[in-house]
Amino acid sequence: MARKIGLYGILAYVVYGLFFYWYLFYFADSSLQFEYEGSKADPATFLNGRELMLTEEYSKIRNLLFFLSTPFEWLFYLFILLLGFGNAFKKWAENSSKFKFVRTAIYLFWLSLFAFIATTPLNYISYSLSKSYNISTQSFSSWMKDELIDFWINFGMMIIIVAVLYWLINKSRKRWWLYAWLLSVPFTLFMMFLQPVVIDPLYNDFYPLKNKELETKILNLADKAGIPAEHVFEVNMAEKTNALNAYVNGIGSNSRIVLWDTTLNRLSDDQILFIMAHEMAHYVEKHIYFGIAGYLLLSLVGLYLTAKLMEYVIGKWGNALRIPAVNDIRSLPLFLMILSMLLFISSPLSNFVSRYQESRADHYAIEMTQNTEAAIGTFQELTRAGLSQVNPPLLVKIFRYGHPTMLERISMLEDYEINNKAKTNE
């Protein structure tokens, strides 16, 4: 049975990979409809021939890597179970300590280490790809440092999460998923509070915006929007990437407005103000809190489904997967695999909601700044800097895009400009 499950898993992954290779390289069409040709959303009007070619090449390969990486994670956990690595990890943990928490940490360390080793090649391919297309400027040592920081942060958080999770499962086999969700609410809020001041600075240096004239303009914009912001931060991303970005993160007193230095270097003040107005819209319309509520709702449903699916899978294939019971630590790879699958399946819904919020933020930003030329120029420069497709294939948009496509964003701005001129002429 174990061999059969493993064979079917490999075949499913190969068929899935071939499908997306065919879809992205031979079937999907990213060309514009006739009515958009020659418009400001047409990449041929603001990218040169080489940039157009590189955008198509880079996007197709990057999208293929995305679609291959998540199911590869599922395959990894499946083979951890089928090949008995879970049993080996548990024995190593039991032979190392008599304390349950320490044994859990040791088991988790070996599982995390094997996952890190298994996924690093795909991560490195993605890094090399962005480097070869001049998106990434990061040295290998710096990239590896970030990977190791990721490993230890995730490992540290997982020790607490997994120890509490299996304590709850042992206490209540029927309702552990509900208690786990209840505890995840304050934990999620706490991590969002810590993110800007504890976790983010581990990767990059943050400091107050050096351009005080621009900071004054941004703070005036924030005051106009009713946002109690006192400082704007910039982060040194130029040593890692040529891409552009800006964001507002954190909650409460730890919330921050952050600009990448690449954005400061490549965009004009008017373009940066449009980006800032967009980010402020998320605060004004309380998108952060709606996002938290949506995440918590999805996590409740996800934990419930995970609990039911774990019981079903272990009841039917527990022997082949070498999992004696749900409350055994060896069921952790199955838990992680099911949760990852549910996250992937639910991503079209979460992306749809995100695209709606981002579209609202775009409308808010242009109403506030009234500068369509700067706004359109911003999106064109974002496209150039990230080699992003203006009109990505449908499945890419559904599974990857938390923002409207550049075609949708620039077209909205052109329509806004036309409508404004019509009102002025009336």
Q: List pLDDT tens digits, range 45-73.
A: 989 889 999 999 999 999 999 999 999 99
Q: Above 80 in pLDDT, residue 249?
A: no
What is each CA distance from 22 to 4, 19, 203, 245, 347, in whole angstroms? 27, 5, 37, 32, 22
* The pLDDT of residue 250: 67
Average pLDDT over residues 186-214: 82
* The pLDDT of residue 226: 76
Q: Where are the domains of the chain?
A: 2-204+286-425
Q: Which conformational region is residue 88 in: left (phi greater than 0), alpha (psi within -120 to 50 degrees), or beta?
A: alpha
In angstroms, the CA 80 to CA 411 distance is 48
* pLDDT band at 145; cut points 50, 70, 90: very high
Q: In this structure, how many other beta carbons lie within 10 angstroms of the beta carbon of residue 7?
A: 10
C-beta of residue 260 within 8 angstroms of C-beta of residue 245: yes
* The pLDDT of residue 425: 60
What angle separates helix 332-369 from helix 49-82, to the nearest 10 degrees?
Answer: 150
Q: Above 80 in pLDDT, residue 339?
A: yes
* The pLDDT of residue 198: 78
Spot the catalytic one: 279, 311, 367, 381. 279
In angstroms, the CA 417 to CA 330 distance is 59
Q: Above 90 in pLDDT, residue 209?
A: no
User: Which of 405, 420, 417 is CA-nearest to residue 374?
Assistant: 417
In angstroms, the CA 278 to CA 266 distance is 18
Residue-wise pLDDT for 11-53, tens only, equals 999 999 999 999 999 998 888 888 888 888 889 898 988 999 9
Whole-prediction pTM value?
Answer: 0.88
b/e per residue, 70-90, with b = 16+ CB within 10 A?
Answer: ebbbbbbbbbbbbeebbeebb
* The pLDDT of residue 424: 63
The whole-chain average pLDDT of the chain stands at 89
In angstroms, the CA 312 to CA 329 distance is 17
Q: Above 90 in pLDDT, residue 110?
A: yes
Q: Which of 104-108, 188-192, 314-318, 387-391 has the lowest mean pLDDT?
A: 188-192
Kind of pairing between the strands at 206-208 and 232-235 = antiparallel
* pLDDT band at 94; cut points 50, 70, 90: confident
* The pLDDT of residue 370: 87
* The pLDDT of residue 66: 94
% of the chain exceeding 90 in pLDDT: 53
User: Is 279 designated active site?
Assistant: yes
